[in-house]
């Protein structure tokens, strides 16, 4: 039985499901309709998915990787490369055998994935976790750590004055590490605070995003230290 959890979506806000398998689409539509607050729209191929994401501004895209016309990874890459759609979180649907694609998807900026076969409830819970990553007024403050400057109002990150383009998840991860600099953050804790998960799922999600964040920060990214067996820490400068 699905929980009737209330999600912070306003009436009329849309979740876009991009998937060609009709039975999967039907199962997801039913599950999301039962969870309050969702208005589900669908697309049966990558090209239509891309168009609907651009035209209808969904609050979340649930994206299957195996799609006709345009593969899911290509859709993901285009959405994350476009300033109009970059902020829309993406939850990928992947087959077990698609581990490489899943990693590539996370590196392209997808927020999370669910492996097939999945329970519709799991997809709804993951979607709710992504959408719960809302903000409090304290998060609009600006923060500085060495050469890294976080503009909390505009969501800009700059290194020595040069803007670095981060996904919404990378931004939140960096902000959390900077706020707690000098203290080790366990992967589980980061999953709960940054990703919004109540229970431990695959902690490799954290590793993938930290690696990507480090790359984007360049030399300044060296300040994010791996603490073997525990998690990550931003070095105090
Ligand atoms: Ca498919």
Question: Does position 164 have pLDDT exceeding 80, yes or no?
Answer: yes
Which token pair is 118?
């999945």
More confident residue, 74 or 12: 74
In DSSP notation, the chain reads -------S--TT-EEEEE-S-HHHHHHHHHHHHHSTT-EEEEESSHHHHHHHHHHH--SEEEEESS-SSS-HHHHHHHHHTSTTTTTS-EEEEEETT-HHHHHHHHHTT--EEEEES--HHHHHHHHHHHHH----GGGGS-EEETTEEEETTTTEEEETTEEE---HHHHHHHHHHHHTTTS-EEHHHHIIIII--SS---THHHHHHHHHHHHHHGGGGGGEEEETTTEEEEPP-
Q: Separation of 93 CA from ligand 1 center, angstroms?
A: 8
Q: 13-135 in CATH: which number?
A: 3.40.50.2300
Q: Separation of 72 CA from ligand 1 center, angstroms?
A: 9
Q: Separation of 10 CA from ligand 1 center, angstroms?
A: 29
Q: pLDDT-derived band of residue 198, with 50, 70 and 90 as boundaries?
A: low
* 1.10.1200.30, 3.40.50.720, 1.10.10.10, 1.10.760.10: CATH of 143-234: 1.10.10.10
Q: Separation of 51 CA from ligand 1 center, angstroms?
A: 17
Question: Does position 7 have pLDDT exceeding 50, yes or no?
Answer: no
More confident residue, 82 or 12: 82
pLDDT of residue 10: 47
Q: pLDDT-derived band of residue 232, with 50, 70 and 90 as boundaries?
A: very high
Domains of the chain by residue range: 13-135, 143-234
pTM: 0.59
| Average pLDDT, integer, range 190-194 | 85
| Average pLDDT, integer, range 53-80 | 93
Q: pLDDT-derived band of residue 51, with 50, 70 and 90 as boundaries?
A: very high
Q: Separation of 66 CA from ligand 1 center, angstroms?
A: 4
| Average pLDDT, integer, range 224-229 | 93
Question: Does position 8 have pLDDT exceeding 50, yes or no?
Answer: no
| Average pLDDT, integer, range 175-182 | 90
Q: pLDDT-derived band of residue 136, with 50, 70 and 90 as boundaries?
A: low
Q: Separation of 87 CA from ligand 1 center, angstroms?
A: 24
Q: Separation of 192 CA from ligand 1 center, angstroms?
A: 29
């Amino acid at each position: 039985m699905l929980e009737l959890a209330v999600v912070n979506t306003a009436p009329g806000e849309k979740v876009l499901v991009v998937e060609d398998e009709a039975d999967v689409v039907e199962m997801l539509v039913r599950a999301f309709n039962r969870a309050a607050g969702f208005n589900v729209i669908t697309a049966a191929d990558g090209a239509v998915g891309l168009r609907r994401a651009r035209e209808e501004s969904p609050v979340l895209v649930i994206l299957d990787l195996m799609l006709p016309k345009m593969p899911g990874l290509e859709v993901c890459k285009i959405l994350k490369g476009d300033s109009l759609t970059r902020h829309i979180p993406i939850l990928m649907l992947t087959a077990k055998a698609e581990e490489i694609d899943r990693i590539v998807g996370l590196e392209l900026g997808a927020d999370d994935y669910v492996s097939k076969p999945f329970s519709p409830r799991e997809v709804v819970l993951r979607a709710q976790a992504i959408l719960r990553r809302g903000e409090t007024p304290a998060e609009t403050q600006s923060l500085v750590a060495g050469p890294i400057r976080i503009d909390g109002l505009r969501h800009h990150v700059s290194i020595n004055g040069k803007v670095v383009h981060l996904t919404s998840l990378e931004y939140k991860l960096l902000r959390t590490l900077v706020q707690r600099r000098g203290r080790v953050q366990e992967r589980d804790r980061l999953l709960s605070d940054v990703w919004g998960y109540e229970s431990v799922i695959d902690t490799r999600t954290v590793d993938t995003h930290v690696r990507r964040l480090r790359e984007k920060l360049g030399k300044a990214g060296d300040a994010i230290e791996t603490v073997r067996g525990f998690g990550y820490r931003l070095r105090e400068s």
